[in-house]
Amino acid sequence: MAFLTLGAPPPAKKRRLYLMEITLPSGMQVVKCGVASGSSSKERMMQINSSIYDKFRSTAMIKIKRDKEVDGEDVFKFENSVHKFFFNYQYDTTHKFDGCTECFCVPIEDMVQAYELIIEGVVPDFQYQMPSTKEAEDSLPF
Question: How many residues are listed for the chain in this entry?
Answer: 142
Closest CA to 33 of 92, 78, 97: 78
The answer to the question of residue 1 being in a domain is no
The answer to the question of residue 6 being in a domain is no
Q: How far apart are CA 123 and CA 131, in angstroms?
A: 20
Which pLDDT does position 37 carry in this prediction?
A: 85
AA identity, residue 138: D
Per-residue pLDDT tens over the stretch 20-45: 999 999 999 999 999 998 778 899 99
The answer to the question of residue 55 being in a domain is yes
**pLDDT: which is higher, 13 or 24:** 24
Per-residue pLDDT tens over the stretch 85-131: 999 999 998 889 999 999 999 999 999 999 999 999 998 889 999 87
The answer to the question of residue 4 being in a domain is no
Domain count, the chain: 1
Full residue range of the structural domain in which residue 110 is found: 15-138
Q: What is the mean pLDDT of the chain?
A: 87
Q: Is 33 left (phi over 0), alpha (psi -120 to 50) or beta?
A: beta
